[in-house]
Structure 1
Amino acid sequence: MEASYQPFYRELSRFIAKECIFTDPSRTMAYGTDASCYRLIPQIVVRLDSEREVQQTLVLAQKYKLPVTFRAAGTSLSGQAITDSILITLGDNWRQYKIFGDAGYIRLKPGVIGADANRYLAPFGRKIGPDPASIDACKIGGIAANNASGMCCGTAQNSYQTLHAMRLILADGTLIDTADSESIAAFKKTHGPMLAQLQSLSQQTKANPHLADLIRHKYRLKNTTGYSLNALVDFDDPLDILTHLMIGSEGTLGFIAEITYETVEEHQFKASALFVFSDIETACEATRILKKQPVSAVELMDRGALASVENEDGLPDFMPLLTDDATALLVEVRGADQETLQNKMAQIMSSIAEFNLEQQVPFTDKPEEFGRLWAIRKGIFPAIGAVRPVGSTVIIEDVAFPIEQLADGVKDLRKLFIKHDYNAVIYGHALDGNMHFVFQQSFDTPQQVTRYQEFMEAIAHLVAVEYKGSLKAEHGTGRNMASFVELEWGNEAYELMWQLKNLLDPQHLLSPGVLLNRDNQGHLKNLKLLPAADKRVDSCIECGFCEPVCPSTALSFTPRQRIVIWREINRLRRSGDDNKRLKLLEKDFRYLGDDTCAATGLCARRCPVGINTGELIRDIRTQRNMRHEKVARWTASHFTTITGGARLALNTVAGASKLIGPQRMGKVTKALYTLSAGNIPLLTPAFPRGTSCPQPPKLSTGDEKVVYLPSCATRTMGAAVTDPDQRPLTQVVEQLLTKAGFSIIYPEGLDSLCCGMPYNSKGIKTVAAERLADMEQALWQASEQGKYPILIDTSPCALRAVEGFTKPMALFEPIGFVNHYLTDKLEFIPEDKPVMMHVTCSSVKMGLSAPMKALLDRCCKQVVIPDGIHCCGFAGDKGMKTPELNASALRLLNQQVPTNCTEGVSNSRTCEIGLSEHSGVPYRSVLYLVDRVTKPLPKTIS
């Protein structure tokens, strides 16, 4: 941290907890990353949790004249969320929401993820208007601040158009709530001159026909270049002008502390079709016709875009056979009912009947079929990102042409690709003339930077000058277009934007260089390098889509941040520069990157290019733990002894807990954990007593046979001392299977079997593979070479088997087994009380989220799926050795448990320990619930 920031830091520390302020080189670099092609490292990162803290921080920044940047999810593509000064990030208290007015409105804090807002509204048949492609990761603060739109939103349902009210904090720390009359009255007293000046600027703009007409023209298109000058011509009330100026201001005019949207209808009935035209010009002409039809979305994809995904599974067979200039339109239509939907489809087909199609996939309203069509569109960017040369980045630019000139604009755009030797692909939201083009770019040499400079200048002139279009249609101006705002808007409008900046941020401390920049070379500075680090993660584009599901997000690094720092470590190792910094990063990475990574791989499911950061971490652990392989082999060969010792230890703790009380025992074990610096595992009151390994039943009477493999965790861990149901899981499974008419087979040598997960998670892969192979052989024999189904009662072990076995066996974890084999053998009598549901990481990977919800709906009348809980972070033994990871992952759980809820279910014994500890209710295997609510179906007499 530079000396000039130290007085600010000292004062900041008086009202912000020091654990929420970061100045170390690892976390400042990690947090100072967004999805753009720029890199800036902040001096200070501060995580704030309240409006009061934001106000105080802004006042302090004004005092010391230090720039401040706000960051939501950091998925921004144009460099809006980075700074080399003070970066403000959002804590957990920015996740609240409220639906009111018959779901006509939703009030959202800026930390709510966009997709979550839609999930809250879904039961009412409503959604928010903006629908950016990053909606599963980006947050409301970024959506509003960038006026993000998307595939169906257009210009009619973006944040600007659907804004109802706002709480905002200005650069001087003043808070105004436009839904509160008292707040408005107070603001008018303190900021009357500001409001008067806004009103004056509005009147001047309206009185200037040339300027007013220019503004109206610009917003006939999708446009996020510069400030929302349309606020000056659309409204008379200065408060309306102020709040609408905040939309798209990218944090340069103030902080949006809360926004209330007017919601829009989410039609239940949808259908999609894919129409392939012979060339891009014809596709653009068809778009002009479709613009007048009742379509919800029209997505254009040129031949290069289609080629990037044409070999993916499930896509139309004709795709590899398309001609060189073929261009597709993906069309979606929606309706309130099936009849309306059918009528719209017929009208659309009639409107384009005059066109000769090269290929087509006719309209389908089957979700699995139109889902595959949308997979083409959604897969383009990941496909290109996955094959880019190591060290290069993928840049997505975002322009809009007037719809009547779309064909010519796209044709000229392609000429520039050829002239500057870029192999770019084009796709985008054709109804709005909004085209994205994606290209690979490296900034390693001055020649590459010069090439990029010349290309961007040519693009800016083509779009902004020749076609009077938008240089930024929906991604926000950011750093990469701030230097071109005047070119697009002209001097008069540009200077008006500076007047607004001077009025609302007179010291220019809010995100300087973002949105407005008088430096015409600003877009060429602080360009991001992406050096090679490891083949598993080199394709990372640092988008941040992985972050919402990572259990360590609030504790240490996210997957994106792990990759950022690992890249820097490897760059420093190769260069030999700054050895002191290298050692600091390596030291920090051990805990922030390695020890606190659950390595479950959920990040890969959200990553556009499928990166599993957990694989990188396991490889790092392999290198670090090679010296422990002998110990690992000894434990593997003495596994029965090890599990027996674990049972003894658990029973000892359970006995002491019963003697002195669970809470007092919890304090004792916590003290031992702390005093031993984590070498003695932390055993909480939720920890189970030991249990015995099940024995083969003496008499098998069931009509059908099943091989049952209790995991080593199940064979070792029984119920917690505080759990009302003291039956071990093995007993429950035996009762349930017998009830359903199954005869149970246990594999030979059961107590010595293990899938190898404990070794694999520590990177000891050879021992893990050997353990898995032993288990496979035992199950192969027990199932009589795959004749009988196999139930593995813990989902992580089941996934290991599914992914690693080579012999053909029918493998099931509890959800799949019950749904496949028991629902037609048992009568379900649902209970009238709520149950908490947790889907483990392994179950998510096996596609069991929906089947688990369906099963629980059979068992009870209210299933609670808590927000923001993905991986529980227990991760094998990390719940004992790094318990703060489990606590951080489940920090939002307890507050979401209904008061009348007494039970949670999952399908992994170790996960259930952490879930029980942090929810306050016992979590058990879902099989406990299934056993309790079922009885045998009456036998029919033939």
Structure 2
Amino acid sequence: MTATAALPTDFLAAVETLIPAERRFDDPLSTLAFGTDASFYRLIPKLVVRVESETEVVSLLKLAHEMRVPVTFRAAGTSLSGQAISDSVLIVLGDNWNGREIRNDGAQIRLQPGVIGANANAVLLPFQRKIGPDPASINAAKIGGIVANNSSGMCCGTAQNSYKTLAGLRVVLADGTVVDSEDAASVQSFRQSHTALLDQLAELGRATRANTELAAKIRHKYRLKNTTGFSLNALVDYDEPLDILNHLMVGSEGTLGFISAVTYDTVPDHPHKASALVVFPDVETCCLAVPVLKQQPVSAVELLDRRSLRSVENKAGMPEWVKALSVNACALLIESRAASQTLLHEQINLIMTSIAHFPVEKQVDFSEDPVVYNQLWKIRKDTFPAIGAVRQTGTTVIIEDVTFPIERLAEGVNRLIQLFDKHAYSEAILFGHALEGNLHFVFTQGFDDPLQVARYETFMQDVTQLVAVEFGGALKAEHGTGRNMAPFVELEWGQEAYQLMWQIKRLLDPQGILNPDVILSEDPQIHLKHLKPMPAADEIVDKCIECGFCEPVCPSNGLTLTPRQRIVVWRDIQAKTRAGIDTSELERLFGYHGVETCAATGLCAQRCPVGINTGDLVRKLRGRDADNTRGANWLAEHFSTGVQGARFMLHVANGAHLMMGTRLLSKTSAAFTKASKGRVPQWTSAMPQPLQRLHLPKPSPDDERPRVVYLAACVSRAMGPAARDQQQEPLLDTTRALLEKAGYQIVFPDDLNNLCCGQPFASKGYAEQAEKKRQETLDALLKASRGGLDPIYCDTSPCTLRMVQELTDDRLQIFDPVRFIRTHLLDKLDFEPQAGPIAVHVTCSTQHLGEAQALIDIARRCASEVVVPEGIHCCGFAGDKGFTTPELNAHALRNLKNAVKTCEEGISTSRTCEIGLSQHGGIDYHGLVYLVNRNSRARAAAVST
């Protein structure tokens, strides 16, 4: 069948028996959300299936093979050439593809395809090893995509990509057959069942190697960085057919099979590094230095033309000298790494001596200082997002990826710049991995006007002719062929090699069901079809480039929508509304999937290349629907009554618990919460008891100890420990004990019970009331701190963040628990670490405040073992979402219990977060101060102050 036809009813019926309903999606919202990847194409799948096992993949492929239903595999969807989308069936990886096995002290690692690349490196870090590929998307991209696209990166080159570091592969072929090259029984079975296939692969290899002209061409092409078409080097590098098969899978973009596990030979991750930036007066000089540097001990050499440097010169934190560079300047960012500092210094001397004879316009010498080299790398990394941030609304950002022979790099750079001018891409910038002649060029493009599409078409015709024909380069170096370069594969490779690729495709996918029109296509216009619209939606999110970098940190990822998907759907709703199309059903679905289940904590902004906080859009939409202004005003005016009301509700819940017991109350409460659509909060066994007393002593005028103003958050004033908690001392009392132990006199602001940072109002969309309460609190803190003379301690990090964001009064020194302990208490306390392991949850606000590592470091002073669960970036409690939308909290923490099973206690810096963490982690979570107070004693000097 063709992908445009409806899916066969027999296929759908069979899928229903294989995959539970909660992992099948065919509604208009879900299919739209999954219809986009990081490329500039869009296809709306008819069915999205989230798979959790290889068995499910095998069954689905057998069905698809039998009924000729096209399927596409999707890992993280960060690919740039349109290879992770489908208008038929999209098979998406679920949670259970995260296995990893370290072998031989880190010399090898076996990974399932759902492991994020950065997480693989995190587990290899203690061995000073890493995987070879290092794509810019490594914090979001998954191993399945990294292998299937043969991704590389800044340091990877051609020697450390997936093809070169592959040690083993487990593959599911188009007919559902599984073969694991590391399992002798699997290999033997496959050789018996697929003898003909292996014989044909062996024959293709023999014929290719015997064709001396073709074999030489293949070897030449892979001397360059090259991901255009299939990995034909497998046919000349190997003669064992299973080795050929495995290496053909690398870079096959899901067109030849499904990769269910990969084993890498890892590479050294040297701990010592230094970076330098050398600016040459022109492109020619810059590029002449590259072959010289290639012979030196460098780990990365990044080229930045003057346009790319100009794109970032006005960004915050950029050195002033960038603006003063000449019009033809061209820079190389150079990094060297070594196993020891002595060796690193030797390498730096060799590098600088080798290029000493080149004229230089500006030079930042090699530095091992993280502040310096991170600033240099920021120049390089900010170039792409800089273009995305300033583009015209409605246009998309395109990043192309080509390779020139290094000996002709200068000529290639200048010819590309001429093409930018010829086709009026004045904003285009050019940078890249110079050691491999691999250049990225970024430009903005509108696709809503036929004239713009025509301009793009003629530009690409010129680019492909220049790179592939005139220079004998590669049209794709590391981003994969996709559907973007599929029409030009034959132009680059020639007819003979191109037909060889088709032979491979038809041999391994005879029905043509695997990711059709990707890498190979019979449609010469496929690169101009299914172009993704980027309509205006809201100025908060209009700069989104839909890269997907935000998705790993989103707590609703896998439950409803991710930030990228929220933006995709909202863009579509706005475009359809302007076109007069009814969007009522889409908006109804978006109300829950897009708005209600968004934690709005803003972690997405930290990962976003252009700094978009999708939570800001969600709060704006909540504000649009916030229709209880009178109630919000009343609560703002009578906040202490509201806190008393919260205590009363906790009293009622506590009484109900005593009467009904844990199991019955949990079940009844969950039913009421669901029936009321969250208006009735859900009770759990981690629910706090009401704070029994609130004792706020006045400071003594005779007390000469240094003062600290203590802002106790409303949750700290209302909530005590849970009934089951072994720690029954309230947070207020423990905090006071710790501060007094360190020699401080505690001062509470006047009218504390009426103070609020405004967060409860802001999260519900009542921005005016939120700002009013925030300002009231800031005024009270200014008075209590004697005009800013005294530091202010806030015991809850989300409230601290709310107070300091956009804070214009620099007299106020407001600290969250982590920063206050780090800056004011460490020199006043001696620590005695406990033996038992401690689980640490770094709240979203702690991350925004830049105190994540400090929290972990403080915990390590207090405990000999600290566990930071992988993949839990936000707990999803989100103020009160844990009570009203408990499925968000449960989903975000679904893996917590297993991750902290060796711990008896957890710590955090937000009382509400600790409720959900305690419930889903199976251990009690407390504020950081409990741990610090228990495992520290006052220094003698501190007592005498």
TM-score over 0.5 (shorter chain)? yes
Instruction: Confirm whether residue 434 of structure 1 aligns to residue 438 of structure 2.
Output: yes
Task: Indicate whether 1:869 and 2:872 are aligned.
Answer: yes
In the alignment, what sits opposite 2:544?
540
Aligned-partner residue type, residue 901 of structure 2: P
Q: Distance in 1 between matches of 2:738 and 2:470?
A: 73
Name the stretch that deviates more: 628-637 or 686-695. 686-695
Shift of 1:95: 1.0
- Separation (CA, whole Å) in 1 of partners of 2:143 and 2:913: 31
Q: Find the aligned partners of 1:522 and 1:418 in 2 and give their Cα distance.
A: 26
1:825 equivalenced with 2:825 (yes/no): no
**Cα distance, 1:3–1:464 mapped onto 2, change above 3 Å:** closer
TM-score, with length taken from structure 1: 0.98
Aligned amino acid, residue 624 of structure 1: D
Offset, 1:410: 1.4
Output the amino acid matched with 1:550. Answer: C
**Which residue pairs with 1:138 in the alignment?**
141
Percent identity (aligned): 55
Tell me how far 1:468 sits from its aligned partner. 0.7
Show the counterpart of 2:649. 649
Tell me the amino acid that sits aligned with residue 557 of structure 1: L
- Secondary structure in structure 1 of the residue aligned to 2:91: strand
Of 555, 576, 598 in structure 2, the residue corresponding to residue 551 of structure 1 is 555
2:599 alignment counterpart: 598
| C-alpha distance in 2 between matches for 1:302 and 1:6 | 55
Contact 1:5 1:43 in 2 (8 A): no
Offset at residue 399 of structure 1 (A): 0.3
Match of 1:572 among 554, 570, 576: 576
Deviation at 1:699, TM superposition (A): 6.5
After the TM superposition, which of the residue ranges 659-668 and 166-175 deviates more from structure 2? 659-668
For residue 885 of structure 2, the aligned residue among 882, 887, 894 is 882
CA distance in 1, matches of 2:109, 2:858: 31
Task: Write out per-residue CA displacement over residues 601-626 of structure 1, whole angstroms, 9 at most, x where no aligned residue.
Answer: 1100100000011111111111111x
- How far does residue 5 in structure 1 lie from its aligned partner after superposition? 3.9
Change (3 A) 1:693 1:380: farther
Aligned to 1:225: 228
Partner of 1:586: 587
* Structure 1 residues not aligned, in runs of 5+: none
Structure 2 Cα separation of the partners of residues 781 and 694 of structure 1: 21
Q: Secondary structure of 1:479's partner?
A: coil
Q: 1:204 to 1:916 in 2, by over 3 A?
A: same
Q: How does 1:541-940 map to 2 (within 5 A)?
A: 541-577=545-581, 579=582, 582-625=583-626, 627-692=627-692, 694-697=694-697, 700=700, 701=703, 703-807=705-809, 808-899=811-902, 901-939=903-941
The structural deviation recorded for 1:368 is: 1.5
* Equivalence for 1:460: 464
Equivalent in the alignment of 2:348: 345
Question: How has the CA–CA distance of structure 1 residues 562 and 160 changed in structure 2, closer, same or farther, with 3 Å as cutoff?
Answer: same
Return the match for 1:325 from 322, 328, 338: 328
- Contact conserved, 1:665 with 1:685, CA < 8 A, in 2? no
CA distance in 2, matches of 1:935, 1:850: 23
- Contact 2:643 2:718 survives alignment (8 Å): yes
1:776–1:805: 8 Å Cα contact kept in structure 2?
no
Matched residue, 1:387: 390
Separation in 1 of the partners of 2:273 and 2:896? Answer: 35
State the aligned residue count. 937
Structure 1: which amino acid aligns with 2:594? Answer: G
Find the aligned partners of 1:571 and 1:484 in 2 and give their Cα distance: 33
Deviation at 1:312, TM superposition (A): 2.2
- Which amino acid is 1:293 matched to? Q
The whole-number CA distance in structure 2 between the counterparts of 1:868 and 1:272 is 30
Contact 2:677 2:884 in 1 (8 A): no
- Asked whether the equivalents of residues 702 and 738 of structure 1 are also in contact (C-alpha less than 8 Å), the reply is no
- CA-to-aligned-CA distance 1:91-136 (integer Å, 9 cap, x gap): 1001111111111011111111111111111111000000001111
Contact 2:560 2:597 in 1 (8 A): yes
3-state SS, counterpart of residue 272 of structure 1: strand
Partner of 2:214: 211
Q: Give unmatched runs, 5+ long, in structure 2.
A: none
Asked whether the 8 Å contact 1:136–1:545 carries over to 2, the reply is: yes
Q: Which residue of 2 aligns with 1:104?
A: 107
Mapping of residues 410-489 of structure 1, within 5 Å: 410-423=413-426, 424-489=428-493
Q: Does 1:22 align with 2:25?
A: yes
| 1:145-172 deviation per Cα after TM superposition (whole angstroms, max 9, x unaligned) | 0000000000000000000011110000
Cα distance in 1 for residues equivalent to 2:449 and 2:262:
44
Q: 1:51 aligns with which of 51, 54, 70?
A: 54
C-alpha distance in 1 between matches for 2:675 and 2:331 = 65
Query: Does the Cα contact within 8 Å between 1:874 and 1:886 map onto a contact in 2?
Result: yes
| Residue type at the aligned position of 1:679 | R
SS of aligned partner of 2:485: helix
In 1, the alpha carbon distance for the partners of 2:674 and 2:532 equals: 41
Name the SS of the counterpart of 1:427 in structure 2.
Answer: strand
Q: Contact 1:702–1:741 (CA<8 Å) still a contact in 2?
A: no
Cα deviations across residues 677-712 of structure 1 (Å, max 9, x unaligned)? 432110111110000463222665561111111100
What is the CA-CA distance between 1:512 and the residue it aligns to? 0.4
Measured after TM superposition, the shift of residue 741 of structure 1 is: 1.4
TM-score, with structure 2 as normaliser: 0.98
Partner of 1:168: 171
Q: State the partner residue of 2:157.
A: 154
Corresponding residue SS for 1:615: helix
2:373 corresponds to which of 357, 370, 381: 370
CA distance in 1, matches of 2:893, 2:73: 26
| Contact 1:897–1:919 (CA under 8 A) maintained in structure 2 | yes
What is residue 280 of structure 1 aligned with on the other side? Answer: 283
* SS of aligned partner of 1:495: helix
Q: Report if the CA contact (8 A) 2:7-2:88 is conserved.
A: no
Counterpart amino acid of 1:602? L
1:304-342 per-residue CA deviation (whole Å, 9 max, x = no partner) reads 000011122333321101111100000001111111111
Q: Which residue of 1 aligns with 2:34?
A: 31
- Take 1:310 and 1:622, find their aligned partners in 2: how far apart are those partners? 37
Shift of 1:177: 0.8
- Aligned residues of 1:772 and 1:804 also touching (Cα < 8 A): no
- Cα separation, 1, equivalents of 2:639 and 2:419: 66
Match of 1:400 among 389, 392, 403: 403
Superposed displacement of residue 3, structure 1: 4.4
Alignment of 1:253-268 (within 5 A): 253-268=256-271
Deviations 1:567-618 (A, max 9, x none): 00000010113x2xx1221111100100001111110010000001111111
From the superposition, tell whether residues 411 and 669 of structure 1 become closer, same or farther in structure 2 (CA, over 3 Å): same
Kindly indicate whether the alpha-carbon contact (under 8 Å) linking 1:22 and 1:46 is maintained by their aligned counterparts in 2: yes
Deviation at 1:408, TM superposition (A): 1.3
Offset of 1:806 from its aligned partner?
A: 3.5
Q: Structure 2: which amino acid aligns with 1:281?
A: E
Counterpart of 2:533? 529
Contact 1:693 1:751 in 2 (8 A): no
CA distance in 1, matches of 2:872, 2:227: 34
Q: Could you tell me how far apart the structure 2 residues matched to 1:4 and 1:140 are?
A: 30
Letter in 2 for 1:869: I
Indicate the SS of the match to 1:102. helix
In 2, distance between residues paired with 1:685 and 1:674? 18
Give the CA RMSD over aligned residues: 1.3
Task: Provide Cα deviations, 1:2-53, integer angstroms capped at 9, x if missing partner.
Answer: 7434332221011100010000111101011101111110000000000000
Shift of 1:405: 1.0
Q: Does 1:60 align with 2:63?
A: yes
Counterpart for residue 316 of structure 1:
319
CA distance in structure 1 between the partners assigned to 2:461 and 2:517 by the alignment:
18
Segment of structure 1 superposing worse, 212-221 or 440-449:
440-449
